[in-house]
A and B are shown apart, each in its own frame.
Chain A
């Protein structure tokens, strides 16, 4: 199915929610992919909006450099509110 490329499918379950990855499928073009995605992933009204993206167009971080790649955030606990002590009695902070 080299000429029916792989598409990744993202579905928005309800208004107010983001699109979430649900799986993939093969289709000849985007329109065909959207129709297949509707039949495959929203048979029970699971979505109000569908995105299809050619799998080949996705760039991803490599799991091997997981540590190095996400390291910079590891020692910056001061980015979280819980890092800061709040004096007794202070509210809404």
Chain B
């Protein structure tokens, strides 16, 4: 493996596969930096899925009807599943799941900043489904063609499930927007709260994005942050009209010349603050995750004890 001649040949072969749009699979040789980038990205993505259960989980006991409650439970359970598909993909790169959880719990790996905002009303569950899951889909659809096979395959599963998430969110807002004045107001205020943070989900502007270029060259990333943000805005403007709600962006208008909507600039200082840990819920989210993990220790312990017991029983019977 350390023979430079061999490494060069490996590198050539890897480059040729990337150029030919072939998928890289777990046991293939890959550059260390490619492996590290993928581990970082997939782990961050997995962490986002499981931390993302919290803002919505917060409303399960207070959902306004049994139907909404069943739907929300299914949605939150899906997010747990997404986390597990992604940890499974990360593990194919030679990193352990417990290692990744430790890094999350120690605050040494990130999750998406969007989940550091609170869900203060039921309408926020709608706005998260519509805008946050909507932004996630915009980000994730191109990842289905990512060069790393296990990641791409996980994304295919995830994207299929995300469309339900986006629709159920839209459905909540659509219902509220046609309800009483107070419900309508609640829906509008929620969209006003989540619009800008959802635009930030695509990351900093291309001019300041640090990882983008190399990730594009490796076919991990297919479109730039700004391209994806534009695509998202173009998608949600007509949807907001259908909802009968407005987006809190005075710069928003159709540009016939560009064939896209013009829109305003998110508050990148706020973004940096949340990223640094100073968002409204950063501490609470991580604290809750650690506690959940610690309080689940007895379940893992019980599973181990049960497995050991039945192994012993089988041996005795044999």
Given contact pairs A23-B154, A24-B88, A1 touches B27 in the complex (Cβ within 8 A): no
Interface residues of A in 50-90 (CB under 8 A from B): 60, 62-64
Of all chain B residues, the one with the shortest Cβ separation from A31 is: B310
Interface stretch (choices B115-123, B199-207, B221-229, B300-308) = B300-308
> How far does the Cβ of A55 sit from chain B's closest Cβ, in whole Å?
9
> How far does the Cβ of A51 sit from chain B's closest Cβ, in whole Å?
16
Candidates A23, A31, A60, A64; contact of B88 at CB < 8 Å: A23
Query: Is residue B85 within 8 Å, beta carbon to beta carbon, of the partner chain?
Result: yes
Given contacts A43-B74, A43-B81, 6 further A-B contacts (CB under 8 A): A4-B300, A6-B91, A23-B154, A25-B84, A29-B303, A63-B29
Contact present for A1 and B303 (CB under 8 Å): no
Residues of A within 8 A of B62 (CB): none
Query: Is residue A12 within 8 Å, beta carbon to beta carbon, of the partner chain?
Result: no
> How far does the Cβ of B83 sit from chain A's closest Cβ, in whole Å?
10
List chain B positions with a Cβ less than 8 A from chain A: 25, 27-29, 74, 77-78, 81, 84-85, 88-89, 91-92, 96-98, 150, 153-154, 157, 161, 300, 303-304, 306-307, 310-311
Rounded to whole angstroms, the CA-CA distance of A44 and B307 in the bound complex is 28
Of all chain A residues, the one with the shortest Cβ separation from B150 is: A23
Interface residue tally on A, bucketed by range: 20 to 34
Candidates A4, A44, A63; contact of B304 at CB < 8 Å: A4
> How far does the Cβ of A4 sit from chain B's closest Cβ, in whole Å?
7
Interface residues of A in 3-54 (CB under 8 A from B): 3-4, 6, 22-29, 31-32, 39-40, 43-44
Candidates A3, A39, A62; contact of B27 at CB < 8 Å: A62
Contact present for A3 and B304 (CB under 8 Å): yes
Residues of A within 8 A of B97 (CB): 1, 26
> How far does the Cβ of B148 sit from chain A's closest Cβ, in whole Å?
14
Rounded to whole angstroms, the CA-CA distance of A51 and B25 in the bound complex is 22
Contact present for A64 and B29 (CB under 8 Å): yes
Contact present for B306 and A29 (CB under 8 Å): yes
Rounded to whole angstroms, the CA-CA distance of A3 and B300 in the bound complex is 10
Residues of B within 8 A of A6 (CB): 91
Contact present for B78 and A43 (CB under 8 Å): yes
Rounded to whole angstroms, the CA-CA distance of A39 and B74 in the bound complex is 11
Residues of A within 8 A of B85 (CB): 23, 40
Q: Provide 17 A-B residue pairs closer than 8 Å at the C-beta atoms, listed in order of the A residue.
A: A1-B96, A3-B304, A23-B153, A24-B92, A25-B84, A27-B303, A28-B303, A28-B307, A29-B307, A29-B310, A32-B306, A32-B307, A40-B81, A40-B85, A43-B77, A60-B27, A63-B28
Of all chain B residues, the one with the shortest Cβ separation from A43 is: B81
Residues of B within 8 A of A39 (CB): 81
Contact present for A63 and B84 (CB under 8 Å): no
Of all chain A residues, the one with the shortest Cβ separation from B9 is: A64
Candidates B25, B77, B150, B154; contact of A63 at CB < 8 Å: B25
Rounded to whole angstroms, the CA-CA distance of A22 and B156 in the bound complex is 11
Q: List the 10 shortest-distance A-B pairs measured between CB atoms, nearest first.
A: A28-B307, A29-B307, A28-B303, A24-B88, A23-B88, A1-B98, A63-B28, A63-B27, A28-B304, A3-B304
> How far does the Cβ of B6 sit from chain A's closest Cβ, in whole Å?
9
Residues of A within 8 A of B28 (CB): 63
> How far does the Cβ of A59 sit from chain B's closest Cβ, in whole Å?
12
Residues of B within 8 A of A1 (CB): 96-98
Residues of B within 8 A of A31 (CB): 310
Rounded to whole angstroms, the CA-CA distance of A46 and B96 in the bound complex is 27
